[in-house]
A = this chain, B = another copy of it.
């Protein structure tokens, strides 16, 4: 029996019927050419037969004096954990996302290991989908992505089938790093609290003097920040990385800056549609991973607060304002070790981000939306012999945070997964179109159709 880590304890405590605290990945795969009509059914049977379940997938919760512990489940019911569904003909992506919205709205059974995999056959274009949902107390997004890096095949191989709950022990290929990795890697190794205290001091000064500084407690009131209901809308789409790279090069900013500008533009359009654009810019909380090279389980995350410049009408000016605000945090974090960044984030967020997480409504809104970007596999991957066409993250919304935007990079595509409270944010799926518009506005029109519409 082992203690659930502190962030995991918090996720468990915050969970309620309107606020499930699980995350998920949605993978869309091609049925291999020449496969028979029983291909997916046989695949599900093979998955259920993989009963040597590795941690943390074999761990269930046990409560002791109000504290959660992990304990191995010795009698797992694989028929329960691995489900098999189908879309009605013709299996439109719209129907797939409606099904995923429904699945994502349901709480996990706490008497079992906190995960479920649903294999969905009949996706248009001879495809199938695998929706895997797990509790955030079990793993964070970066850990999940590393796991995906381990269990998928580099080449189509019908004889080698790994699954999230039974993966080879070591990654098969190195992965590229994102914003996150470079922050942690570039951090100078100055240990101890003085560095943190110094950084907090700088932070207080910058709030007064540095125009690029965006901190907590500066976000405007917004329709994104309502109490949520129990029902969800999930939207997902892939965008060609080459287009995003073209914009980054043309404007001399990073890929991540462009991603934030895409989100900012889409949100600006959506809020204008709803006659709800605040005069002040929206603030995005962007989690950054502090994982070392090999750590996988548990939660190890710091945050930056990005100014989304949604009040600025000019697309290029908006992009550069965003880039400057991200740059501010990079400069700050360069001076700190990853442990110090976590402590610093904790200190900042104690008065802002985490009082939201802990269920206390902040008197000042700390941020308007969470945007997280997790690096995924750089080359094509295969689930057994089935080519994975796309993978989309499905995250969490909270009271006061009715929208979450998560991204995963995969095989020269950037896969956006959006989740919202279906009641607070009507027709949220329009954001997908506006994300595309954003790239057009910044001078990178689409040369091919998006990968999943």
**Residues of A near any B CB (own CB < 8 A):** 17-18, 37, 40-41, 77, 79-80, 83-89, 95, 98-99, 102, 105-112, 121-122, 229-231, 422-423
Q: Write 24 A-B pairs (CB below 8 A) sorted by A numbering.
A: A17-B107, A37-B89, A41-B88, A41-B89, A77-B422, A84-B88, A84-B95, A84-B98, A85-B85, A85-B86, A85-B88, A86-B86, A86-B88, A86-B89, A88-B122, A105-B106, A106-B106, A106-B107, A107-B230, A109-B230, A109-B231, A110-B230, A111-B229, A111-B230
**Shortest distance from the beta carbon of A323 to any chain B beta carbon, whole Å:** 39
Asked if A102 contacts B121 (CB within 8 A), the reply is: no
A138 to B87 alpha-carbon distance, docked (Å): 30
For A121, give the chain B residue with the smallest CB separation: B88
A86 to B95 alpha-carbon distance, docked (Å): 11
Residue numbers in B under 8 Å from A77 (CB-CB)? 422-423
Asked if A231 contacts B111 (CB within 8 A), the reply is: yes
A422 with B105: in contact, given A86-B88, A110-B230, A231-B111 (CB under 8 Å)?
A: no
Residue numbers in B under 8 Å from A85 (CB-CB)? 85-88, 99
User: CB within 8 A of A86: which of B17, B18, B122?
Assistant: B122
Starting from the known contacts A41-B88, A83-B102, 4 additional A-B residue pairs (CB-CB under 8 Å) come to A18-B111, A80-B231, A83-B98, A111-B230
A189 to B111 alpha-carbon distance, docked (Å): 50
**Shortest distance from the beta carbon of A60 to any chain B beta carbon, whole Å:** 10
Interface SS, A side: loop
A17 with B110: in contact, given A85-B99, A89-B41, A122-B88 (CB under 8 Å)?
A: yes
A110 to B423 alpha-carbon distance, docked (Å): 12
Asked if B422 contacts A80 (CB within 8 A), the reply is: yes
The 8 closest A-B pairs by CB, nearest first: A111-B229, A106-B106, A109-B230, A86-B86, A86-B88, A109-B231, A17-B107, A88-B121
A41 to B84 alpha-carbon distance, docked (Å): 21
**Shortest distance from the beta carbon of A67 to any chain B beta carbon, whole Å:** 19
**Shortest distance from the beta carbon of A260 to any chain B beta carbon, whole Å:** 31
Residue numbers in B under 8 Å from A84 (CB-CB)? 88, 95, 98
Residue numbers in B under 8 Å from A229 (CB-CB)? 109-112
A106 to B105 alpha-carbon distance, docked (Å): 8
Residue numbers in B under 8 Å from A40 (CB-CB)? 88
For A122, give the chain B residue with the smallest CB separation: B86
**Shortest distance from the beta carbon of A232 to any chain B beta carbon, whole Å:** 9
Residue numbers in B under 8 Å from A79 (CB-CB)? 98
A128 to B41 alpha-carbon distance, docked (Å): 20
Residue numbers in B under 8 Å from A105 (CB-CB)? 106, 109
**Shortest distance from the beta carbon of A12 to any chain B beta carbon, whole Å:** 12
A229 to B111 alpha-carbon distance, docked (Å): 6
Among A18, A85, A423, max chain B CB count under 10 A is at: A85
Residue numbers in B under 8 Å from A110 (CB-CB)? 17-18, 229-230
A392 to B258 alpha-carbon distance, docked (Å): 54
Asked if B89 contacts A87 (CB within 8 A), the reply is: no
Residue numbers in B under 8 Å from A99 (CB-CB)? 85
A225 to B89 alpha-carbon distance, docked (Å): 43
